[in-house]
Structure formats: C-alpha cells, structure tokens
Structure 1
Amino acid sequence: MPVSSCTNLSVSEQAVLKKFVRQVLNNAVIDKSLILPSEPQSLSLLAPGACFVTLYTDQQLRGCIGTYVADQPLWLNVCRYSYYSACEDRRFTPIAKNELANIRFEISVLSELAPIANAGEQALLTQLKAGIDGLLLKEGYRSAIFLPSVWQALTTPSEFLQALKLKGGWPANYWSQDIELFRFTTFVIEGENKNS
C-alpha cells in the first residue's frame, strides 16, 4: 500500500483524525488505557503514515511523541501517539482529567524523508529552510528529530541544528561524516481546546 500523501487529506478526513484524538485522550484519562475507535473507511487514513502528536496546555508543551517511520496506517499512528503523548512522555506527568478541556493539540503528518548528502555542517546550514524543513539526524544507535514547528523557538539554522544535536546526545559542536541527514515537511492539523 502506498504511503499516505500528507497534503491530500480532505477537511472531513482531518475532522475524523481530530475526533479520534479527542476520543483517545478522553479514554486515556478516564480508563487509563488506549482504546481504539472503529477503523475509518477513508483510503488516505488507512494508508501508512508517519506522524507526531503534540499536546499543549495554555501554550505550554504538555507532550509530544510520534514516529518518522510510515509502517502503520495513519489513523492508527495518530491514535497510538495521542495516547503516548498524553500518558507516556517521560518529560511530563500524565494528562489529568481536569486538564482535558484545556488541551490543544497538533497532528503533524510527515512527508517522506528526503536524504541530504552529508557535505559537512556548514553545507547543511546553508540548505536548511527555516520554518519549512524538519530534520532527522542518525548515527549509529543515536538519532534525533525536530519538526518544522521547532523553528518557532529556534529561529536560525545554527540554533536549530545545535539544539537537535544536543537532543540526540551529541555535543553541540560535534560533526561526523557518518551522520545521516534527512529532511521532511509536515502537514499540521490543529485541534483547539474545548473552551475555544
């Protein structure tokens, strides 16, 4: 089955994914488990798709987990990573019932990863498109990924890359010809909090 095209989701398909996120979050908080909704009919949502689900409360990050591997149907990944972001992001305590109404979320559907030739750090910095490119670094057992939304906080290519290296466990000034580089874009579906 072909990978889901992240830019071809209709308004109704986006609405289905937003509904699924809300259902999963409600069940996660109330039942403390991942309860999947019924499988959708849409071929785009049944196609494999990589995604991240990011949760916010009052503009503050509250959870963000996902995958860059499109090995499961998009709808299933959206549901799974909604649950993981709410309950298993080790940086935060699990979402509590009294927070549910104020949770805002973003579903970032990833494009296919496009390899970038490793011609050195300076070459990469000149190629990065601020605000557009997401970036994945891989070397050995280490990897780190930033979504394009991270550009809102880290506005220059140098800041973006240094922070990504630190996230992956490399020193900020580290570089190696063995680092594999991949860029991607995202299609973002925003879900407002229930009080909006």
Structure 2
Amino acid sequence: MPGVIITIAQQKGGSGKTTVAAHLAIGLGTGGKSVAIVDVDPQGSLGQWFERREERLGEEGIDLEFRTASGWGARREARNLAKHHDFVVIDTPPKSDLEMRPAIEIADLVVVPLQPTPVDLWATEPTLQMATKERKETILVLNRVNRRSLLTAEMTDATRDLGYRVAKAQLGNRVAYPSSMGSGSTVLEAEPGGLAAEEIRDLVKDIRKAFRR
C-alpha cells in the first residue's frame, strides 16, 4: 500500500505552512512510521529547516527523507516517495497556482492552515476551491490562535460554517514554534511536555484518524 500524501496549501502568505509541515512530518513519524518531505516553495524554508536538522543530528541520525521539486515535478516526486514511506508531506508556496496545483492534485489530504482573522478566512477561498475541484479531502487548521480572544471564537465558528472539515486541534500563538524551528527541531522534541507539543499531537491524531495509520 502506498503512503499517504499530505499537501500543506494556502495561497495567503504568513499562514504558517512550513511550521505546520515540519511539525506534522515529525509527529507522523512517531511509532516507527517513515516520513518524507517535499519542499515546493522557491523560498526553501522547509529545506533550510531540514539543513539545520541535519547539522544537529548528523546524516546518520536524520529521521526524514527530503526532496525539492517545482511545478509538475512535485507529483512525480511525491508519488515515488510514497512507494517507500508511510507519509509524504508537501510544503507549497503562497500565491502560485502553478506550483500549488500539482501538489494538490497528487494529495490524499490537503491541510489548509489559516489564522483566525476575517482577512485570512477570505483569502482561503481560492485554495479551497482548487481542492474541491480536484475532489480532495480537506482539513482546515486554525494556527497562531489566541484562545482568550473573542475574535478567535467568532472565526472558529465562521470557519466551520464553510462546510469543510476543521481540525479539533488549534495551534496557539506560541514562541515555542518558531524557536524550535530555528534549530531544525520541533516542539515535540524541544518541549515535549509543553502545550504546543500537546497541540501537535492532537493534530496528528486528527489526521491519522482519517487514514487509520
């Protein structure tokens, strides 16, 4: 059985796609599962994170397979990686149908991170339309959430009203996320007992339930 291909997609910049991609990759790799990551974003942020990780752990200690691809090459790369891995996570760039569309077409699941603001919600529509056109299962993930904010509660309801699946797990606006990324790590490793790590574990559970893996 080929592995599950998960594409992190959102046309609006600043949604936290790369952070979500890296954390999902590490979270999905628990329990002996094999994971590969594909960076389709020309900015190469996921690749920079992987390089930091490789420097920290060494080649023998690295726990992910990493590839870069662009445009239609993402489909071939992801398909080949899925033959030998349980999960393949693709990080896509914002504002680029050319780069994002092939990654959505090959996906088993499209994960759409968004901040809980009206502007972010409006900007999510093109990505959702693309995923719907390709008949892809989609899950929305609220990111950089301030749980004490009334706006967060309002936007959580508004997101659910879109009619798409919304992850029960919400990722808080926590320094732990960017801090861990800077060293090629994740909150699961840097602060395993923290609230951020708990959020990621809950998100991973949401995604694994969809595929029973």
For the criterion TM > 0.5, the same-fold answer is no
Normalising by the smaller structure, the TM-score range is under 0.3
Higher-RCO chain (CA-CA 8 Å, sequence separation at least 6): 2
| Larger strand fraction of residues | 1
Instruction: Please report the TM-score for the alignment, with normalisation by the length of structure 1.
Output: 0.27
